[in-house]
Structure 1
Amino acid sequence: MQIGFIGTGKMGLPMARHLAAAGHEVTGFDLAPAVLDAARQAGLKTADSMAEASRGKDVVFSSLPHDAAFEAVGGQVAELAAPGTLYIDTSTVSPQASARVAAALAQRGVRYLRVTVSGNNKMAEAAQLTALVSGPADAYEQAKPLLAALGPVQFYLGDAEQARLMKLVVNLMIGLTSGMLAEALTLGAKGGLKWQDMWSVITASAVAAPIVKAKSVQLVEHDYTPTFTVDQMLKDVGLILDAGADLRVPLSLTALLGQMLQGAAAQGMAGDDYAAVIKAARVGAGLRGLE
């Protein structure tokens, strides 16, 4: 297939490379010259414009940072892609923005799949992303072989914005896990428990969910190198709270998580991994050392 891929950053580039490795002709595009150059150096064919990445393609993918970028790109895909083209967006954006783009694409006869992906950049590199899919069922059937190149598991959730909401549900739980760990570990540390001992017990206990075990490898060493930053999680928390307001669902714990993330950002941790809420909680409790 002829595939255009718009947004070749830390998530988009590995996905585009996997599609190319599966035998498709993939053309990447990104507004950031350095990002596009990195795609070129990684062996990906690149375009100089949105038009070049969209016109004449069987499928156009996108991986974008926020609603504004997504709506801008989705609108251009509607204008540039031929009727019958399949547009697959993998971004974490609001259901409302997605619905607006869906309307614009439908007017132009461009088919649209919402394919939110669960997993970080390391999982993208390893082709271990989980795809949460919604949109026309026939489009999903066409896209299955493409999605299989990104990871082994796909869930088809419905014909509209279900994938957008499901991604927010998952990220709500991931974010709150970091808040839970922040308070629990700070309580233990302030009471004299050793950091390594707490992690040994937690990862062997009933609360040792896969995300806890995965994070423990870095966090036991107080390593907050980002896979997903504080600022990125703050963006997602904003989307989650907006969805709650739209659906009239009170999200008290999520609102508290937002304040914890704001506190971490205010302490200079905005670019750290979102689990830096743990570090911020320790500082707030007067724990300055690492034990």
Structure 2
Amino acid sequence: MKLHFIGVGKMGLPMARHLAAAGHSVTVSDPSPERCQLARAQGLAESTSPAASLAAAEVVLSSLPNDEALLAVAAQVAAHAHVGVIHVDTSTVSLQASAEAAQALAAKGVLYLRCTVSGNNKMAEAAQLTVMASGPRAAYDSVLPLLKVLGPNQFYLGEAEQARLMKLVVNLMIAQTSAMLAEALTLGRKGGLDWQDMWQVLGASAVASPIVKAKSAQLSQRDFTPTFTVEQMIKDLALILGAGVDSHVPLPQTALTFQLMQAALAQGDGQDDYAAIIRTVERSAGLPAD
């Protein structure tokens, strides 16, 4: 199948590479020359003419950073792709921007699938992403073999923006897990518990969720190398809070976590892992953060 992949960042690049390894003809494009160079180094073909690649593609995929990028790419796809092409977008964006993109694409006969993914860049590298999809069911059935290349779990959720909302629901819980850990670990550390002992007990306890277990090896060593940064989580929390406003759903705990992330950003941790809010709470308790 002829595929064109737009956006080869930390998530998009491994996804594109897996699709190429599965035997598909994949071209890629990205506004960053550095990302395009890295894609070429990993064996992917950079498009010399994105417009021509869009015109030739049977499926267009994208992994984009924000609403503005999605709307710009949707306009490009609408302008150059042929009628009946499927646009699979994996980005985390607002429901409003996604609906606007859907309208622009439908006007040109492009089938639009919102295929959000749950998992970090390491899970993308390992082809262990969970895909949450919404859009035309026939289009989903058509690209399901592609989605299965990205990870073991795929869920079809409806015809419209359900996948966008589901991604926000998942990320709300991820963010809140980091806030829970920040308070619990700070309480234990301030009371004299050993940092690594706490992680061993948490990993063997009833609260040892997959996300806690996934974080334990790194955070038990106080390693805040990012899989998803504080700045990225702030962006997602803003989307989550906006969705709450739109649906008249109070999200007081999420609002507090958003403020903790802002504090982490102000304290210089914006490019560290979002779990760096642990250090934010530690500082507030008078503990050294490192």
**Which residue of structure 1 aligns with residue 227 of structure 2?**
227
Call closer, same or farther: CA 1:289–1:229 in 2, change over 3 Å.
Answer: closer
Call closer, same or farther: CA 1:289–1:85 in 2, change over 3 Å.
Answer: closer
**Which residue of structure 1 aligns with residue 197 of structure 2?**
197
CA RMSD of aligned residues (A): 0.9
Q: What are the within-5 Å matches in structure 2 for residues 3-14 of structure 1?
A: 3-14=3-14
Aligned residue for 1:250, secondary structure, equals coil
Between the aligned partners of 1:45 and 1:94, the Cα distance in structure 2 is: 31
8 Å contact from structure 1 (residues 5, 53) kept in 2 = no
- Normalised by the length of structure 2, the TM-score is 0.99
Report the residue type matching 2:80 in the other structure.
L
**Which residue of structure 1 aligns with residue 278 of structure 2?**
278
How far 1:216 sits from its partner (Å)? 0.6
**Which residue of structure 2 aligns with residue 101 of structure 1?**
101
Aligned residue for 1:268, secondary structure, equals coil
Identity of aligned residues (%): 63
Q: Which structure 2 residue ranges, 5 or more long, are not aligned? A: none
Report the residue type matching 2:277 in the other structure.
V
Report the residue type matching 2:147 in the other structure.
L
Aligned residue for 1:31, secondary structure, equals coil
Aligned residue for 2:150, secondary structure, equals coil
Report the residue type matching 2:95 in the other structure.
P
**Which residue of structure 1 aligns with residue 144 of structure 2?**
144
CA offsets 1:219-253 (integer angstroms, 9 cap, x no match): 00000000000000000000000000000000001
Between the aligned partners of 1:52 and 1:44, the Cα distance in structure 2 is: 17
How far 1:279 sits from its partner (Å)? 1.3
How far 1:289 sits from its partner (Å)? 6.0
* Runs ≥4 residues deviating over 6 A: none
Between the aligned partners of 2:148 and 2:215, the Cα distance in structure 1 is: 26
**Which residue of structure 2 aligns with residue 117 of structure 1?**
117
After the TM superposition, which of the residue ranges 100-109 and 281-290 deviates more from structure 2? Answer: 281-290
Verify: 1:252 aligned to 2:222, yes or no: no
Aligned residues: 290
How far 1:52 sits from its partner (Å)? 3.2
Q: Which structure 1 residue ranges, 5 or more long, are not aligned? A: none
Between the aligned partners of 1:49 and 1:94, the Cα distance in structure 2 is: 29
8 Å contact from structure 1 (residues 8, 28) kept in 2 = yes
Call closer, same or farther: CA 1:266–1:52 in 2, change over 3 Å.
Answer: same
Q: What are the within-5 Å matches in structure 2 for residues 1-291 of structure 1?
A: 1-288=1-288, 290=290
